[in-house]
Structure 1
Amino acid sequence: MNTSFDVIVVGARVAGASLAYELAKAGWKVLLLDKAQFPSDTLSTHNFLSNSLVMLREMGVLDRLLETNTPLYSRAVIQFDDTVIDGRFPEVDGEMQGLCIRRKHLDTLLQQHALAQNGVTLIDGFRVTDVIREGETVTGVKGASRSGETASFHAKLVVGADGRLSALRGLVNSPCLHSVPTDFASYVGYYEGYRQDGDIHVELYKIGDKMGIVFPTSDDRYVVGIMFPLNDAYWMDRFQSMPDTAMLEIAESGFAGSPLPGRLRKAQQSEKIKGLHGYNNDWFQGMGKGWALVGDALSFKDPVVGQGMPDALYGARTLTGILSRYREWDDNWERMAADYQLQMEHTMMARFQMACQFTKNVPFTQEQHMVNRLIAASPEATRAFLGVYNRAVEPQELESILMGMLSGQ
C-alpha cells in the first residue's frame, strides 16, 4: 500500500470527509484515517441550516443525503421564558430549508462521496498515536489498527479533523486561544411519535436556568436535547441514575408553559439517552508547520447555536482555498497560518461569541426581555434574528434593525 500522500486527514466524519472531497477536487492525493469503523453514530446535533445546504448542493452530495428520507424544515419556534418567536429562516442563495440528518447516514455518505473522487484513500479502525517530524515540521503520522498492526504514513500536510477532543491537536501542541467553559450538562434522546402543531420545525427553549432543543431528524424521529446547570445536584443525580425518566420529569417541571412536556409525554423513546457533563467553547491555533485543524478540532461551540456542522464545511473549503493559493507550502507556513486564522475568524467568530453567551447560566435581563418581545412582534426582526443563525444576516445588522425599531417608537 502507498504510504506517501499530499495530505493526511485524521478524522473521517463531516469535517474530514468534506475536506478530503475539497482537496481531491483541487488535485491532491489524500489519506483519510479514523479510529471508528463505519457506519458509526456519534453524539451530535447533526443539523445543517440553509447556508450549509447551499454548500452541500455545490459539493454534489445533497441529493444523496435527501434520499435518506430525512425531512426538510424551514420554520423555527423559539421560546425565551414567556416570549415566543415563530418564523422562517431567510433564503441563502436560493435555499430556505434545513436538514438534521443522523450521523450514521451523513458521515458514511460524505465518505463515499469523497472516495468517489480520484486520489482519496480511507483507512478506518486506525488510531493515530504520534506525529512524525523533520525538525519543527510535521511530516506524517504513526498509528495502529484495531488488530494492533502498526503503520506510518507521510504527507506534506497533516490535518486534525478528529473532533472536540482532537488527538492530533494534542500531538502538535496547538495552543488554545479562547476558552469559555459551559455551565450546563447536556442530555440527548431520540423519540418516535413526537408531534408538532403545524408544519415540522425546530424548537429552542431557554426557560429559567434550563435549555432545550428539538429537531426533526432521520428515521421518522425527533432528537431532543435538554441542558441544565452543572451545579444542579438533583438533576445530575436523576439523569445519572434514571436518564429515561429524568428526561420526562425535567420537561414537565423545567419547561412548563411550553409545548415540550405534552409532546414528549406522548412520544416513545427509541434509543438510549446519552449525556455530556460540561465542555469548553474553545478556539485553537488553526495551523502550524506541516499541520492544520478543521471542524470541532479547531473550534467547538455550544450545540445550542447549531454552528458545528456549517463551520466544518466552511473550514474544509477555506483551508483548501489557502492551500491552493500557496503551492510552495514549505516556504509559506507562517503566511498560510495567518491567512487561515484571519479567514476563519471572519467567518466564525461572531457565532462563537454567541455560543459563549448561551453557554453561561445567566438569566435574561429586563432589557433582553424587551428585545425578545420586540423580535417576536415583528416579522422583519424575526427573519433577521433567524438569519443570524443561517448567516443570511450578521449580528450587527440585527442590532441595526432593532435600534431603528426602538428609535421609531
Structure 2
Amino acid sequence: MNHHYDVIIVGARVAGATLAYELSTAGYEVLLVDKSEFPSDILSTHNFFNNSLKILREMGVLDKLLQTGTPLYKRAVVQFEDAVIDGEFPEVDGESECLCIRRVHLDQILFEHAASQPRVTTIEGFRVTDVIREGDAVNGITGVHRSGSAEQFTAKLVVGADGRNSTLRKLVNSPQLMAVPTDYASYVGYFSGYEQEGDLHVELYKIKDKMVIVFPTSDQLYVLGVMFPLDDQEWSDRFTASPETAFRELVDSGFADSPLPARLRQSALDGKIRGLRGYDNDWYQGMGAGWALVGDALSFKDPAVGQGMHDALYTARILTEILSQHDNWDAEWESMAQTYRTMTETKMMPRYHMACQITKNVPFTTEQTMVNRFIAAHPEATQAFLGMYNHALEPEQFGGVIGRLLQGSSAQVGYAEANDVSGG
C-alpha cells in the first residue's frame, strides 16, 4: 500500500466520502479512512432539502440512493403554537423534491462510490491516534487498525471529516470561534405504521417549550425527534427510566392540539429511542498549515434547521475548488484558509444564526405569533419561509418579503421581528 498521498481524509461518511470523490475528480491521490466499517448507522439527521439534490445528481449517486426505496417529498407542515404553515419547498436549481435517507444506506452508498473512484484508497476500521508534523505544518497521521497493528501515512493535507466530536480537530488544536449551547435535550426514534394525510411531508411542531420534527425516511419508516428543555428534570428522569414510554407521553401531553398524537399512537417503534443531551452550535477555524475541516467538524448546528447534510456536501466541494486553484499549498496556507473561511461564512453563517435562535428555549413574542399567523395565511409568505431552509431565499431577505406583502394587507403585524420566526 502507498503511504504518501496528496490528501488524507479522516472520516468517510457524508462529508468525507463526498470530498474523496471531488478530489479524485480533480486529479488528487486520496486516502480515505474511518474508524467504523460499512454499512453502519450513526445518530444524525439525514435530510437533504432539494437544494442538495443537484449535487448528489452531479456526483452520480442520486439514482443509487433512490434505489433504496426512500421516498421523495416536497411538502412541509410547520405548526408554531396555533399557526399552521403548510406548503411546498420552492424549486432550487431545477430540483423540486427532498430526500431523507437513513444513514445506514446513505453512508454505505457514498463510501462505495468514493472507493470506486480512481486515485482513492480506503481503509475501514482505522482509528486515528495522532497527527504527524513537519515544523509547524501537519503532514500525516498515525493510527491503529482493528487488528491492533499501528500504521502511519503522510500527505500534503489532512482533512477532518469526522463529525461533531472530531478527533482530527482536537489533534490540530483548531480554535473554536463561536459556540451557542442548546437549551434542549433531543431524543430520536424510527416508527413504522405512521400515516400522514395528503402528500408525504416533513412536520415541525413548536408548542410552548417543546418541539417535534418528523421526516418520511427509508424502509417505510418515519423518523421522529422530540426536544424538551435540558433543565426539565422530570422529563429527563422519565426518558432515562423508559425512553419509549416517555417519548409517547411527551407527544400526547405536549401536542394534543395537533395531529401528531393520533399518528404516533398507531405507530410501532422500530429499534431503540436514542438521545442527544446537550450540544453546542459551534464554529471552528476551518483550515491551517497542512489541515482542514469539513462538515460537522467545521460547524455543527441544531438539527431542527436541517442543514448538516447540505453543509457536508458544500464544504467538500468548495475545499476542492480552493485546493485546485493553488499549486504551491505549502506557501499558500494562509491565503487558502482565508478564502475557505470567507466562502463558508458567506454560505453557511445565516443558517447558523437561525440554528442559534431555534436552539434557545424562548417563547414566541406577541409580534412573532402575529407574523407566524400571517405566514400561515399567505402562500407567498409560506414559500418565502420554507425558502430560508432550502437556500431559495436568504434569511436576511425574509423580512423584506413580509414587509412587501404587508403593504398590500390590512393585517396589523409587527414585522420587524419577522427574521425570528424560524424557531423563536
TM range (shorter): over 0.9
Alpha-carbon offset, residue 186 of structure 1: 0.3
Q: How does 1:224-239 map to 2 (within 5 A)?
A: 224-239=224-239
Alpha-carbon offset, residue 30 of structure 1: 0.5
The match for 1:196 is: 196
Q: Give me the whole-angstrom Cα distance separating, in 2, the residues matched to 1:123 and 1:304.
A: 33
The match for 2:414 is: none
Q: How does 1:104-115 map to 2 (within 5 A)?
A: 104-115=104-115
The match for 2:255 is: 255
- The answer to whether structure 1 residue 57 and structure 2 residue 57 are counterparts is yes
Q: Give me the whole-angstrom Cα distance separating, in 1, the residues matched to 2:233 and 2:146.
A: 39
The match for 1:140 is: 140
Q: Give me the whole-angstrom Cα distance separating, in 1, the residues matched to 2:68 and 2:18.
A: 19
Q: What is the one-letter code of the residue matched to 2:143?
A: G
Instruction: Indicate the SS of the match to 2:186.
Output: strand
Q: Give me the whole-angstrom Cα distance separating, in 2, the residues matched to 1:395 and 1:404.
A: 15
Q: Give me the whole-angstrom Cα distance separating, in 1, the residues matched to 2:293 and 2:396.
A: 28
Instruction: Indicate the SS of the match to 2:388.
Output: helix
The match for 1:281 is: 281
User: How many positions carry a matched residue from both structures?
Assistant: 409
Alpha-carbon offset, residue 3 of structure 1: 0.7
- The answer to whether structure 1 residue 173 and structure 2 residue 173 are counterparts is yes
Instruction: Indicate the SS of the match to 1:42.
Output: coil
The match for 2:314 is: 314
The match for 2:93 is: 93
Identical positions, percent: 66
The match for 2:421 is: none
The match for 2:416 is: none
Q: What is the one-letter code of the residue matched to 2:5?
A: F
- The answer to whether structure 1 residue 379 and structure 2 residue 344 are counterparts is no
Unaligned runs of 5+ in 1: none
- The answer to whether structure 1 residue 7 and structure 2 residue 7 are counterparts is yes
Alpha-carbon offset, residue 406 of structure 1: 2.4
Instruction: Indicate the SS of the match to 1:253.
Output: helix
Q: Give me the whole-angstrom Cα distance separating, in 1, the residues matched to 2:332 and 2:94.
A: 37
CA displacement 1:360-402 (0-9 Å, x = unmatched): 0000001111111111111111011101100011112221110
Alpha-carbon offset, residue 45 of structure 1: 1.4
Q: What is the one-letter code of the residue matched to 2:124?
A: D
Alpha-carbon offset, residue 146 of structure 1: 1.5
Task: Give the TM-score taking structure 1 as reference length.
Answer: 0.99
CA displacement 1:168-194 (0-9 Å, x = unmatched): 000000000010000000000000000
Q: How does 1:5-404 map to 2 (within 5 A)?
A: 5-404=5-404
Q: Give me the whole-angstrom Cα distance separating, in 2, the residues matched to 1:303 and 1:275.
A: 13
Higher mean C-alpha displacement, 81-90 vs 109-118? 109-118
Q: What is the one-letter code of the residue matched to 1:200?
A: L
Q: What is the RMSD computed on CA atoms of the aligned residues? A: 0.6
Q: Give me the whole-angstrom Cα distance separating, in 1, the residues matched to 2:296 and 2:114.
A: 20
Q: Give me the whole-angstrom Cα distance separating, in 2, the residues matched to 1:392 and 1:59.
A: 21
Unaligned runs of 5+ in 2: 410-424
Q: Give me the whole-angstrom Cα distance separating, in 1, the residues matched to 2:70 and 2:359.
A: 29
Q: Which runs of 4+ in 1 moved over 6 A?
A: none
Instruction: Indicate the SS of the match to 1:99.
Output: strand
Alpha-carbon offset, residue 405 of structure 1: 2.0
CA displacement 1:123-160 (0-9 Å, x = unmatched): 01110000000010000000101121000000000000
Q: Give me the whole-angstrom Cα distance separating, in 2, the residues matched to 1:236 and 1:121.
A: 44
Higher mean C-alpha displacement, 327-336 vs 389-398? 389-398
Q: Give me the whole-angstrom Cα distance separating, in 1, the residues matched to 2:41 and 2:16.
A: 15
Q: Give me the whole-angstrom Cα distance separating, in 2, the residues matched to 1:274 and 1:113.
A: 29
